[in-house]
Amino acid sequence: YAAFFLYSSTVIENMYNRIKDTEEESNGCRMKHLLTAVTSVLAVVVILTAVREKSMNLRVSKYSLLVSPESTKHDAEQYAKLKKVRFSTLEDEEKLELWNTYKNQFGKSYQSDEEENNRYIIFEKNLKYIDVLNAQNPHALYGLNAFADQSEEERSMRRMKAQNLSEVKSILSQVIGTDVVQAAEQGAFAHHDHRKLRTWLAGLKIKEGEHTDFDQAQGEFAWASASDCAACRKFTAFGNYNFGNMPDNFDWRTLGAVTSVKNQAYCGSCWSFSTAADVEGTWYLATDELISRSPQQLVECNTMNLGCDGGYPFAAMQYLSHIGGMLSWDDLPYDKVFEGDALANPVGTPTCNTHLINEKMKTHQVAHIGGWQMVALGDEYEDLMRVVLLKNGPLSIAFNANGMDYYIHGVAGGCSSAEDCEAGSVSHPDIDGEGDMFTCDPTSLDHAVLAVGYGVQTTDNGDIPYWLIKNSWGDAWGEDGYYRLVRGTNACGVANMVVHSVVKDPSS
């Protein structure tokens, strides 16, 4: 196109030479200069456009997974433009160029050449991992982010220490009674015959030999029901929702029940962020106050969990129901964890600030939590999850987070086989000859998040139902800090451990 315009300039000049004798010289000069200027400007514009397009194409072809926040929006138009690149096809020089681009974009610097060489080796291995994730998840895009130069050991420090679902159920049986867990094992909705209110001693276990009346000072437990509707105080029409009558797409963010995305940094405290976010929504629906709550309080003071070494939201909610409430983020901010080299400087659990907590409790500057509900304990509860979320606010979830590290956007949860899809797991092949298997095991729970909604993604291959999940790895990760996971197959155990907080009446 640029050559065409330059050629046009020459043609116009020749035409001018033929007619210049018939025009006044002064007007002819002005016309000549004008025409030459116009065609020259057009040529420059086209050349610059072509260069920019070539540059953009080069970036897409090699580095499309180095993305800006604007490119992570998950609307239909962006989804249609989903492009995946196989990093394994890059030559060594191209990988080095990509490495330099990555370092510049994410502000990476290293203390020595040896450290950088080691990071580059990790980076190369992670490129293979990203390729596998893109191959196994046809409706999601995985790419480079701030974690791409980190080892699996480092990345795992942002998650809990994995526990098998059977072990977690054993802990539950100590807290809420074996009859409730056994009811869940009998199948969906069998628990409705076991909706007993329980009380605990010191927030740790059931009083032996007795079942007392409900005592809000110690906490309530009950199974969630499709008839429960905490949201009906603000949204009375929500009482009409049931299994046969629900919207196809729903997002609590649009109704004001979700605070900003937080960052847990290098501390396995996801369980505290999940709990805090659940309480935020619960308190908002009860009081109209949307206030960020303090994960720091849970990390410091909830002795039933393990601080930066992990824990579970149900135990955190039990602590809150026993102590009476949760402080705000402003009163007790999350600022006592180390954000540098996690392996060189492992973080410990800080000391509980009991004086501050007692003062805030006395003046009722807390979100008063009176108990919690069990929402789901297996794949047969995924439909109930949807109803409870819709009518009661965002839900706290513990599931398997393997594969989430390099998520960019789209609906995650592709299956390598029909059997895996039915089981909710995704098995990835050996990618480096070392026998590494990247498996999203639904029975191994290692991360806690918040379900804030659900929806349906339209694709060329049909509609994909999904859960909309708030993570705690900062808003530069994923879809502005959010994750979408396929719904309906208990993918990664998303329905294996779901709980929800219950508000205590502040006037009581």
Give yes or no for a contact between 457 and 464, defined as CB atoms under 8 angstroms apart: yes
Measured from the Cβ of residue 216, the count of other Cβ atoms closer than 10 Å reads 17
Measured from the Cβ of residue 3, the count of other Cβ atoms closer than 10 Å reads 10
Q: Greatest CA span in the chain, whole angstroms?
A: 116
Cβ neighbourhood burial of 123 (10 Å; 0-12, 13-18, 19+) = buried
Active-site option among 440, 447, 496, 500? 447
Residue 447: active-site member: yes
Give yes or no for a contact between 250 and 454, defined as CB atoms under 8 angstroms apart: yes
Active-site option among 229, 270, 415, 421? 270
- DSSP 3-state assignment of 230? helix
Concatenate the DSSP letters of all residues of 362-404 into one string: HTT-SB-EEEEEEEESSGGGHHHHHHHHHHH--EEEEE--TT-
CA angle 439, 444, 447 (to 5 degrees): 95
Residue in the block written with tokens 């050996």: 430
Closest residue by Cα to residue 391 from 282, 254, 270: 282
Sequence-distant (≥ 6) Cβ neighbours of residue 485 within 8 angstroms: 411, 412, 413, 466, 467, 469, 491, 492, 494
Give yes or no for a contact between 454 and 386, defined as CB atoms under 8 angstroms apart: yes
Q: Rounded to whole angstroms, how far apart are CA atoms 416 and 427?
A: 6
Residue 29: active-site member: no
Residue 411 tokens, joined: 């609906």
Residue 471: active-site member: yes
Active-site option among 392, 400, 402, 471? 471
Q: Annotate 297-310 with b (16+ C-beta within 10 A) or e (fewer).
A: bbbbbbebbbbbbb
Q: Rounded to a whole number, what is the distance in angstroms from the first to the last CA of the chain? A: 77
The alpha helices in 85-194, defined as continuous H runs, are 92-106, 113-136, 152-155, 165-176, 178-185
Q: Rounded to whole angstroms, how far apart are CA atoms 290 and 132?
A: 40
Closest residue by Cα to residue 500 from 185, 310, 352, 286: 286
Known catalytic residues? Answer: 270, 447, 471
